Amino acid sequence: MRAYAIHVFKRLGQFILVVYIGITITFFITHLTPIDPVEHAVAQVSSFGFSSPESIELLRKSLKEMYGLGDNLWLQYLRFLKRVTVLDFGPSLSAFPTPVGVLIARALPWTIGLLTISTLLSWFLGNILGGLAGYYRKNRLLRLVGVITMGVHPIPYYIVAFVLLIVFTFLLPILPSGGGYEMNLNPGLNLPFIGSVVIHSILPAFSLILVGLGSWYMGMRALVSNIVTDDYVVYAELAGVPRGRILTSYVMRNAFMPQITGLAISIGSIFNGAIITEYVFGYPGIGRLLIDAVHAADYSLVLGIATISIISVSVAVFLIDIIYPLIDPRVQVKP
Amino acid sequence: MIRTVRDLFRYNGEFAAGAVIMLVVFTMSLASYFSPYSPIDAYLVPMDVPPSEPYWFGTNSRGQDVFWQLTYALRNTLAFGFVVAVISRILSLTIGLISGYVGGAVDRVLMSINDTFIVIPLFPLLVLLYFVLREDMTWFMLALIMACLGWAYDARLIRSVMISLRTREFTNASIFSGMSTPRIVTEEHLPYVLPIVFSTFMNNMNWSIGLEVTLAVLGFTDVNTPTIGGMIFWANQHSAMVSGVWWWYLFPTFFVTLTFIGLFLLSISMNEYIDPRSRLSRMGNG
């Protein structure tokens, strides 16, 4: 138990380091570049109409305060770190005066819901199918599944998603073409709304699962075909243990474990997937928010989303890292 | 080297298929040097002509010949993947070798940085970089940035091989015979590591091309340099799907998919070449 506590402690250190480096990179990317968000915003505001020089000067001053600019860089950096700890990124410019934090909090459940469920599903399906294919090598049906998943795997996600969109909303109009739910419904815990959310998530989730399946399938098949030749499996076969039992409790169980590390990394890349999925399917998550923020040149919103994605990804990886030794007794947690 | 390639061609279907596909794609990209049009000029040919005699792949709504536009796009896209893969291979090889061979505190520091790079979500970071750089985000700049972000996972792979090589008998033999550390690493260990470098090279090219396509589709790159993603971006801008100019999507999509499958086949065949166990099983099955 003590070894485990030390393991958690070390992972916690790593987690804090990741978040710290990520936030620092984000800060310096945005502050050491030639563009000045204040001048940009001033230009945007004054393009709406005539403003007096005094009011522009006033606007400039208050914007500098809002963005936490103006002092020297180190002071700004320290202040930024302090603001991140309370998740305060100031008001958004494109949806003024809603705070960035509120906009993100509104979008985050959509992304996390869609992406977590489809990542887990593709992990689970890919591993089961890959495991079966590794064990029953001669099975025709499993081979066909393998050819399909591996054929889709190298195609860029955007293209798969786009083709699915055309097929299921244009050629066979059976699914909605975009959005997170039917616009005329009342968001909340009622049946029509939940049903609508589920229907709208089918296509994006399916596209993510289809693309993700291949790598799990291949990894699991390779792992299982290595384990199958191990002595204890051969012995079990000779001793007449039923094949189904060998597969579930001798082979799959041991092969599943290394795949968990992979799951941590793919949970980690959730935001990479979110952006393009949400763009293609018009899904109201954090990726969609980021794209809109870039097009609206909303400085604080872009900065806020980048920071939040780094933190939430690190949390996910940290959680899997500390749960892992509890599931797999073979992992040595050395102090 | 030539013998290895010949054997791969003969016994490894994936390698042969991948090589042929990549040859086709590469030839297409070389055709750009014979193009009668400049890649950035628009309104040179009649607009929205379906694939037919003078315009094999049709023309787009910007008055460009899709065939010649595609040759430029393939050239830039392939070159992009290549540049990213070369630079990030140098990084991952250097860091993986040092970390694995030196070990100790150096290893711990390097791997902490490495793990940070593995988990940091790249896409928001790339979008952020585009956001602040705007006009300065050229084709080459993006390649440099992606190379700096795309080495971490492979560095870990190289390090793990290096650690196992370090404890082998022949390493000690070389040390006792008085070879210098750089010579041991480059002459004794590098041959074991190079196949991994090649296979990760293909994967890295796939990864970087995929990301470039994605960023370009969103308009977050220099869309004036023709790339595959850039072509899809312009097709989206002119709502080509709605106006029925499907060939504007079809040909770039087809060729980028071909590129992906080609690189993927090369990479898995290389993996198999590295792993003697699967090589044996292939021979056993005939």
Q: Where are the alpha helices (DSSP H) in chain B?
A: 2-11, 13-30, 66-102, 104-119, 122-133, 139-149, 152-166, 169-176, 181-183, 190-217, 228-237, 247-274, 276-285
**Residue pair B213/B260 in contact by the 8 Å Cβ criterion:** no
| Distance, CA of B116 to CA of A21 (rounded, Å) | 8
Buried b (16+ CB within 10 A) or exposed e, A15-35: beebbebbbebbbebbbeeee
> Given B119, B127, B128, which is nearest A18 (Cβ)?
B119
Handedness of CA A294, A299, A302, A303 (dihedral sign): positive
What's the CA gap between A299 and A38, in Å, rounded? 9
Does the complex come out with an ipTM higher than 0.85?
no
Range in A158-167, A173-182, B57-66, B78-87 with the lowest mean pLDDT: A173-182
Alpha-helix runs per DSSP H in chain A: 2-31, 37-46, 53-67, 73-85, 100-135, 140-152, 157-165, 191-228, 231-238, 243-245, 253-268, 270-281, 286-295, 299-327
In angstroms, the CA A127 to CA A142 distance is: 13
Check residue B88 and give its pLDDT.
95
Chain A residues close to B209, C-beta within 8 Å = 156
Which residue did the predictor score with more confidence, A261 or B98? B98
What is the count of residue pairs from A and B with beta carbons less than 8 Å apart? Answer: 112
B interface residues, A as partner, C-beta within 8 Å:
112-113, 115-116, 118-125, 127-134, 136, 206, 209-210, 213-214, 217-218, 220, 232, 241, 249, 253, 256-257, 260-261, 263-264, 277
The residue count of chain B comes to 286
A91 touches B: beta carbon within 8 Å: no
Yes or no: say if B205 and B216 are a contact pair by the CB < 8 Å rule. Answer: no
Tell if the CB–CB gap between B264 and A153 is shorter than 8 Å. yes
Region A278-302: mean pLDDT is 85
pLDDT for residue B281: 56
Measure CB to CB from residue A156 to each of B134, B210, B249 and give the nearest one.
B210
Q: What is the pLDDT of residues A62-114, one digit of tens each?
A: 777 766 666 678 888 888 888 888 878 877 777 777 888 888 888 888 888 88
Q: Is the pLDDT of residue A326 over 60?
A: yes
Compute chain A's Rg from CA coordinates: 25
Cβ atoms of A218 and A191 within 8 Å: the answer is: no
Q: How would residue B93 be classed by pLDDT, with cut points 50, 70 and 90?
A: very high
**What would the pLDDT profile of A185-230 be if each residue is shown by its tens digit?**
666 767 778 888 888 888 999 999 988 888 888 888 888 888 888 8
| Residue B30 confidence (pLDDT) | 92
With a cut of 50, say whether residue B4 has pLDDT above it: yes
The alpha carbon of residue B175 is apart from the nearest alpha carbon of chain A, in Å, by 30
Question: Would the pLDDT of B27 be above 60?
Answer: yes
Cβ separation A271–B121 shorter than 8 A: yes
Looking at this protein, which amino acid is placed at residue A196?
Answer: S
Task: Give the per-residue pLDDT at B286.
Answer: 34
> Can you tell me the mean pLDDT for B212-234?
88
Examine the pLDDT at B212 and tell me if it is beyond 80: yes
Kindly tell me if the per-residue pLDDT of A158 is higher than 80: yes
Q: Answer yes or no: is pLDDT of B109 > 80.
A: yes
Among B21, B80, B128, the strongest candidate for a mutation testing the A interface, having the largest count of A CBs within 10 A, is B128
* Segment B208-217 mean pLDDT: 88
pLDDT score at A335: 40
CA distance B123 to A272: 5
Write the DSSP assignment of B63-126 as a string of letters: S-BHHHHHHHHHHHHHHHHHHHHHHHHHHHHHHHHHHHHH-HHHHHHHHHHHHHHHHS-HHHHH
CB contact burial B125-141 (16+ within 10 A = b; e otherwise): bbbbbbbbbeeebebee
What Rg, from alpha-carbon coordinates, does chain B have? 22
Q: Is the dihedral of CA A45, A48, A53, A54 positive or negative?
A: negative
A193 touches B at CB < 8 Å:
no
Sign, Cα dihedral of B72, B75, B78, B81 = negative
Residues 6 or more apart in contact with residue B180 via CB below 8 angstroms: none
The per-residue pLDDT for B144 is 92
- To the question of pTM greater than 0.90 for the whole model, the response is no
Contacts A33 to B, Cβ<8 Å: 132-133
Sorted by sequence, the CB contacts under 8 Å of residue A54 that are 6+ apart come out as none
pLDDT band at B285 (very low <50, low <70, confident <90, very high): very low
The rounded mean pLDDT for chain A is: 81
Task: Place A34 in a pLDDT band, splitting at 50, 70 and 90.
Answer: low
Identify the closest residue of chain B to A291 by CA–CA distance.
Answer: B218
Interchain CB contact of A30 with B (< 8 Å): yes
CB atoms within 10 A of CB A101: 17
Q: Do residues A116 and A201 make contact, with C-beta atoms less than 8 angstroms apart?
A: no
With CB atoms and an 8 Å threshold, state whether B127 touches A158. no
Q: Buried b / exposed e across A200-219, counting CB within 10 Å, b at 16+?
A: bbebbbbbbbbbbbbbbbbb
Q: How confident is the model at residue B243 (pLDDT cuts 50, 70, 90)?
A: confident
What pLDDT band is residue B95 in, cutting at 50, 70 and 90? very high
- Are A301 and A92 within 8 A, CB to CB? yes
User: What value does the mean pLDDT take over residues A172-184?
Assistant: 75
**Contact indicator for A309, A36 with CB cutoff of 8 Å:** no
pLDDT band at B283 (very low <50, low <70, confident <90, very high): low
How many Å lie between the alpha carbon of B178 and the closest alpha carbon of chain A? 35
The owner of tokens 């505190």 is B105
Q: Which residues of B touch A281 (CB under 8 A)?
A: none
Residue in A272, A302, A317 closest to B123 by CB: A272
List, in sequence order, every residue forming a beta bridge with B159; answer none if it has no partner.
Answer: none
**Which whole number is the average pLDDT over A265-280?**
79
* Mean of per-residue pLDDT scores for chain B: 84
**Structure token pair of residue A84:** 């991140």
% of chain A with per-residue pLDDT over 90 = 4
Bridge partners, residue A99, by sequence = A91
